[in-house]
Amino acid sequence: MDTSSSPADSSAADSPTDSNPLLVTSGLPPWDRIEPEHVIPGVRLMLQKAESILEEAERDDAVDWDRIMDPLDRISLLFEYGWNPVEHLLSVMNSSELREAHETVLPDIVRFSLRMGQSRPLYRRLCALRDSDRWDRLGECRRRIATRMIQDAELSGIGLEGEDLRQFNENQERLSRLATAFSNHVLDSTKAFHLDITDPADADGLPESFRRMAAAAWNQDPQNADQKASVESGPWRVTLEAPSFGPFMEHCRRRDLREQVYRAWIRRASEGDTNNEPLIAEILELRHSQAHLLGFRNWAEVSLARKMAGSVERVETMFEELLQASRDRGRAELKEIAQYAADHGQNEPLAHWDVAFWAERLREERFAFTDEQLRPYFSLDRVLEGLFRICRLLFGITVRRADQEAPRWHEDVRFYQVHDENGTLIASFYLDPYSRPENKRGGAWMNDCIARSVTARETRLPVAHLVCNGTPPVGRVPSLMTFREVETLFHEFGHGLQHMLTVIDEREASGISGVEWDAVELPSQFMENWCYHRPTLLSMAVHYETGERLPDELFERLCAARTWRAGSAMLRQLLFGMTDMHLHARFDPRNRESAFEVFQRIAEDVSPMPPLPENRFLCSFQHIFAGGYAAGYYSYKWAEVLSADAFAAFEEAGLDNEEALAATGRRFRDTILAQGGSRHPMDIFRDFRGREPRVDALLRHSGLIEPATEQQRQNDPAGR
Ligand SMILES: [Zn+2]
């Protein structure tokens, strides 16, 4: 069934652009027909329709759920078919024509979305609904949707008038300009530095993959046109881009060169005309005044108003518990590295630029394995079989390939259908598995294609996009994955499961929609654990040529690698998270203490090796100054706590006991996967786990506490 019965749609039915594939609103998007030339006319017409629906809705004054939400639902549907596919294709089938068309219509899309989010008539009606006696009868899910819409509107300044509103908008604009400048400074100062290695003796120890990248970096510079670098003999260019900086610090044997590169790294965006120091002060001050205008005490409260953690205190309690458990371990790890360095010929005391280098030597000696060693054991189809098998056991779902059922954007793309225990079709997904450097963005991700929604008019089943960047098969060699890629596939499939196994009828709360930001990584990180589940891993890790199973010894090394330097890694994340929270929760313009002093002070307490006084890491901390992580960096750890604790429920049930796993899996499906954004994530978590989340499982999985200690901590309430 389609929605052409609505007045706004019927007006376009006669239009010649009706054949535009971006204007269908039922079934699967016609991927095989969408061309760049459809984008401009299709999106414009879609926006026209959306605009007239919105105007109609704004003229209405009924304080009634259906009358308010039905037009919004129709607008979402238009976007689902008319805009989301454009964004998707931009990532997986990029071309200059598509990019140009996208850029042309993007400002109109942004303008419309802003206008809809800040519509005063809609806001007033939602508030009237909240204050009416109908509110209590709406049910939890609808109340949550409406509350969130009201809150989003308010956080965008809709409740402000007069001078306050003018000030708010001015600050907002200034903040977005500062964020862009902040990023540009990081980018420019990163680019401004390089170190050229011309003597092959200095490249001793640098791995082949690094040399290839570094030779290419040298060759890219037009000034080097008359001296082409070769992978074997250089010259090699070291840069401050992460893929260059990281391996260089781990492998370069020349200590003085490591120091030089390290010092450049910690000074990024802190000098000259790319200095972010004044921007940091201004950003913090502006956020603080935005918080005040919105009626909050500080920016941390604004951020947490929409998150699962809910309060600064709760986040700080988590920090404290994690810190207590990892501080000593972090120090011990550093001591071990220092000892190893001393035993292997370093006479000077261990400095910042030595840690990664010696840690890597120790790791290699202890349990190194290379991606190439593992790759032959992980062929895509076997891995998918293993993934689908564990999902069937846990959640009772069956996944079947059904390419012929769906239009696709590329011949490598696969289409799968998901059935429940009764054989009922409940969802489907696309898998775009291989890298296509010419037109596909790198990385892996899950996105929604169609959201589940059930209205009086129709029922729509959820459809997900799973995009990976694996190696394509060559001849008789199948697509082989690194272990990291296997983990990533499980991770993204976890997001996909929450999108597909939802039972919520309201589009705004079905699947991952409406899930609090700090809870959204729960199902994905949870699924990663199954890569270390012995039966699951051994069932899918089969050598593609010899049919041999993954040797036990390699499996053990994989597990050991998971907890390698876990204390140091934890402390590093805590330093970032605690600094972020402190700057946004305790900021006071009259403070004598600068942001850098805050960072340094927290580091003295947290880090096994506190930063150098000249460290200007904050100047390149884009997550919180140019991204969406302000007073939200803690979310990484928060989600890890949730996912580890959720997995612990399966460990307690018995990882070798299929019956117990199935029972726990169904509970996970019925709560966390099925209910998504329809209820507060803490309530859903409590329903699954029988209590609030605890940090113990994460600490145990990271090797930071012994299983026995965890038992004690659980029995001793004071230990929490
Ligand atoms: Zn994720």
Give a yes or no: residue 166 inside a domain: no
pLDDT on residue 590: 77
Domain count, the chain: 5
Contact criterion met (CB below 8 Å) for 291 and 301: yes
Query: 237 alpha carbon to ligand 1 midpoint, in Å?
Result: 33
Is the domain of 222 the same as that of 331? no
Q: What is the mean pLDDT of residues 422-446?
A: 94
Query: 397 alpha carbon to ligand 1 midpoint, in Å?
Result: 22
Query: 520 alpha carbon to ligand 1 midpoint, in Å?
Result: 8
- Within 305-460, residue ranges assigned H as helices are 312-343, 352-367, 371-374, 380-395
Q: Which residues pair with 238 in a beta bridge?
A: 195
Q: What is the mean pLDDT of residues 376-395?
A: 97
Q: Give the amino acid at 140.
A: E
pLDDT on residue 714: 52
Range of the domain at 688: 635-719
* Residues contacting 455, CB < 8 A, separation 6+: 70, 73, 505
- Of 268, 292, 307, the one marking the end of a domain is 268
Is the domain of 261 the same as that of 385? no
CATH number for the domain including 32? 1.10.1370.40
Is the domain of 381 the same as that of 518? yes
| Range with lowest mean pLDDT among 275-289, 411-425, 530-544, 551-565 | 551-565
> What confidence tens digit (pLDDT) does each residue in 565-575 have?
999 999 999 99
pLDDT on residue 10: 38
| Range with lowest mean pLDDT among 152-156, 455-459, 484-488, 507-511 | 455-459
In the predicted structure, residue 514 carries a pLDDT above the cut 90: yes
Confidence of residue 438 (pLDDT cuts 50, 70, 90): confident
| Range with lowest mean pLDDT among 113-117, 252-256, 294-298, 716-720 | 716-720
Secondary structure of 21-67 in the HEC alphabet? HHHCCCCCCCCCCCCHHHHHHHHHHHHHHHHHHHHHHHHCCCCCHHH
Contact criterion met (CB below 8 Å) for 288 and 298: yes
pLDDT on residue 442: 86
In the predicted structure, residue 615 carries a pLDDT above the cut 90: yes
Query: 307 alpha carbon to ligand 1 midpoint, in Å?
Result: 16
Give a yes or no: residue 164 inside a domain: no
| pTM of the predicted model over 0.85 | yes
Give a yes or no: residue 408 inside a domain: yes
- Of 216, 251, 268, the one marking the end of a domain is 268
Confidence of residue 352 (pLDDT cuts 50, 70, 90): very high
C-alpha span between 115 and 617 (Å, rounded): 38
* Residues contacting 468, CB < 8 A, separation 6+: 431, 432, 433, 434, 444, 485, 488, 489, 492
Give a yes or no: residue 364 inside a domain: no
Is the domain of 532 the same as that of 472? yes
Active-site positions read 492
| Residue appearing with tokens 């061309």 | 35
Is the domain of 38 the same as that of 128? yes
pLDDT on residue 710: 53
Query: 407 alpha carbon to ligand 1 midpoint, in Å?
Result: 27
Is the domain of 55 the same as that of 100? yes
Give a yes or no: residue 341 inside a domain: yes
C-alpha span between 84 and 416 (Å, rounded): 20
pLDDT on residue 98: 96
Q: What is the mean pLDDT of residues 545-567?
A: 93
pLDDT on residue 707: 72
**597 closest CA partner among 577, 618, 581, 576:** 618
In the predicted structure, residue 13 carries a pLDDT above the cut 80: no
Give a yes or no: residue 184 inside a domain: no
Confidence of residue 720 (pLDDT cuts 50, 70, 90): very low
In the predicted structure, residue 171 carries a pLDDT above the cut 50: yes
In the predicted structure, residue 16 carries a pLDDT above the cut 60: no
In the predicted structure, residue 11 carries a pLDDT above the cut 60: no
> What confidence tens digit (pLDDT) does each residue in 195-252 have?
999 999 999 999 888 999 899 999 999 999 999 999 999 999 999 988 899 999 999 9
Q: How would you classify the pairing of strands 459-460 and 445-450?
A: unpaired
**463 closest CA partner among 106, 84, 113, 158:** 84
pLDDT on residue 18: 62
pLDDT on residue 712: 52
Query: 445 alpha carbon to ligand 1 midpoint, in Å?
Result: 7
Is the domain of 75 the same as that of 211? no
In the predicted structure, residue 395 carries a pLDDT above the cut 90: yes
Is the domain of 105 the same as that of 217? no
Give a yes or no: residue 72 inside a domain: yes
Query: 491 alpha carbon to ligand 1 midpoint, in Å?
Result: 6
What are the phi and psi torsion angles at 463 (to 5°)? -130, 135
Is the domain of 397 the same as that of 486? yes
Query: 702 alpha carbon to ligand 1 midpoint, in Å?
Result: 19
Is the domain of 399 the same as that of 486? yes
In the predicted structure, residue 12 carries a pLDDT above the cut 60: no
- Of 599, 625, 651, the one marking the end of a domain is 625
Query: 492 alpha carbon to ligand 1 midpoint, in Å?
Result: 6
Query: 512 alpha carbon to ligand 1 midpoint, in Å?
Result: 11
Q: Which residues pair with 601 in a beta bridge?
A: none
Q: What is the mean pLDDT of residues 664-683?
A: 97
Q: What is the mean pLDDT of residues 141-150?
A: 96
Q: What is the mean pLDDT of residues 10-24?
A: 65
Report the percent of the chain where pLDDT is more than 90: 88
A 10 A CB-CB count for 374 gives: 20
**149 closest CA partner among 71, 69, 52, 56:** 69
Contact criterion met (CB below 8 Å) for 616 and 277: yes
pLDDT on residue 708: 60
With b meaning 16 or more CB within 10 Å and e meaning fewer, what string describes 100-127?
ebbeebeeebeebeeebeebeebbebbb
* Residues contacting 367, CB < 8 A, separation 6+: 556, 557, 560, 561, 564
Average pLDDT score, the chain? 93
In the predicted structure, residue 129 carries a pLDDT above the cut 70: yes
Is the domain of 116 the same as that of 197? no
Confidence of residue 588 (pLDDT cuts 50, 70, 90): confident
pLDDT on residue 1: 35
Give a yes or no: residue 182 inside a domain: no
Query: 496 alpha carbon to ligand 1 midpoint, in Å?
Result: 10
> What confidence tens digit (pLDDT) does each residue in 94-125 have?
999 999 999 999 999 999 998 998 899 999 99
Query: 468 alpha carbon to ligand 1 midpoint, in Å?
Result: 13
C-alpha span between 358 and 715 (Å, rounded): 40
In the predicted structure, residue 592 carries a pLDDT above the cut 70: yes
What are the phi and psi torsion angles at 146 (to 5°)? -65, -40
Query: 313 alpha carbon to ligand 1 midpoint, in Å?
Result: 25
- Residues listed for the chain: 720
Is the domain of 48 the same as that of 94? yes
